[in-house]
């Protein structure tokens, strides 16, 4: 017997809304919202975007637990491109209560969406299948129980759907988050760069904290449009900090050559470039000459 067949064969329980007045229904939903808020806040089951909070699928599953609702994947199908090759996956997820389908949603995840970035072969297929099911489940819960999320002060749109709409959404750097969680004053790596710009040699601050990979021409990672390179990503920041020192490209390189045995900016490693940028921030804060 399949999991779906087991749920369909379960004995029916009294439904929540049988013989309840509108006032009682609102009171039940309000109580669920209060408990939901307590759980979600403690477990951080949300994504904060522009000062609004969006529930992750685990938050929606919590609402499902309140309402005795289960989510099951109905199907996952490949999406074929113009050449017939698979370009992603689409999934349908249904919500069951008392053996009946009460909501359903279909969502897709392409290989160009952020869960698949940097992945190849079977890992890319698994990521797309998993994301499609997660997004469909969140959407199915939202369609049925969005009002409970709103009563609790959260947005009705699932977090996964918001992030999938904005693949370049800037999120808090994991290094910053870890430092805040443990009460650390200094952030590992290059704390001033990380705090001010989100820069990290581990994660790309421009593309959902995608992992940097060490390649022939330095740290980089794949994007939907090609590649993101660390050295290119920091160019605007280099320019900003250099201008604050009153430098142009030539004068900055002269400073670097003095410090780094005649090497220019392009010859420095990423670590050395970050160290140099840290010195510019320190100089700006203390009105001092960099690299002293």
Instruction: Note every long-range contact of 163-167, with CB atoms under 8 Å and residues 24 or more positions apart, other chains counting.
Output: 163/47, 163/114, 163/208, 164/109, 164/113, 164/114, 164/131, 164/135, 166/49, 167/113, 167/114, 167/207, 167/208, 167/224
The pLDDT tens digits for 71-80 are 999 999 999 8
Checking if the pLDDT of 191 tops 80, the result is: no
**Is the per-residue pLDDT at 243 higher than 50?**
yes
pLDDT at 76: 95
Handedness of CA 106, 112, 115, 119 (dihedral sign): positive
Question: Which pLDDT band holds residue 185 (cuts at 50, 70, 90)?
Answer: very low
Q: What pLDDT score does 152 carry?
A: 81
Q: Which of 44-53, 104-113, 227-236 has the lowest mean pLDDT?
A: 44-53
Q: How many CB atoms lie within 10 A of CB 1?
A: 7
Query: What percent of the chain is modeled with pLDDT above 90?
Result: 12
pLDDT 10s digits, 133-169: 988 998 999 898 888 888 888 887 777 777 654 444 4
Q: Where are the domains of the chain?
A: 3-165, 174-286
pLDDT at 251 over 70: yes
């Amino acid at each position: 017997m399949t999991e779906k067949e087991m749920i369909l064969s379960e004995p029916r329980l009294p439904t929540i809304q049988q013989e309840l007045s509108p006032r009682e229904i609102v009171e039940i939903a309000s109580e669920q919202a209060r408990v939901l808020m307590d759980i979600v806040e403690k477990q951080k089951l949300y994504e904060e975007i522009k000062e609004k909070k969006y529930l992750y699928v685990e938050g929606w599953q919590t609402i499902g637990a309140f309402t005795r609702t289960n989510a099951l994947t109905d199907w996952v199908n490949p999406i074929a491109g113009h050449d017939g090759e698979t370009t992603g996956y689409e999934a349908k997820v249904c919500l069951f209560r008392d053996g009946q389908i009460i909501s359903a949603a279909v969502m897709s995840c392409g290989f160009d969406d952020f869960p698949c970035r940097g992945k190849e072969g079977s890992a890319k297929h698994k990521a797309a299948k998993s994301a499609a099911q997660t997004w469909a489940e969140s959407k199915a819960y939202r369609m049925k129980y969005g009002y409970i999320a709103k009563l609790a002060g959260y947005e009705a749109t699932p977090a996964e759907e918001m992030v999938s709409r904005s693949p370049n959404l800037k999120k808090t750097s994991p290094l910053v988050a870890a430092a805040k969680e443990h009460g650390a004053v200094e952030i590992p790596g290059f704390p001033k760069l990380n705090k001010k710009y989100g820069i990290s040699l581990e994660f790309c601050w421009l593309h959902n904290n995608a992992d940097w990979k060490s390649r022939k021409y330095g740290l980089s990672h794949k994007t939907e449009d090609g590649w993101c390179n660390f050295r290119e990503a920091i160019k605007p920041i280099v320019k900003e900090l250099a201008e604050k020192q009153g430098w142009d490209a030539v004068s900055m390189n002269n400073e670097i050559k003095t410090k780094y045995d005649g090497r220019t900016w392009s010859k420095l490693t990423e670590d050395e470039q970050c160290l140099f940028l840290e010195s510019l921030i320190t100089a700006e804060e203390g009105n001092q000459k960099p690299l002293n």
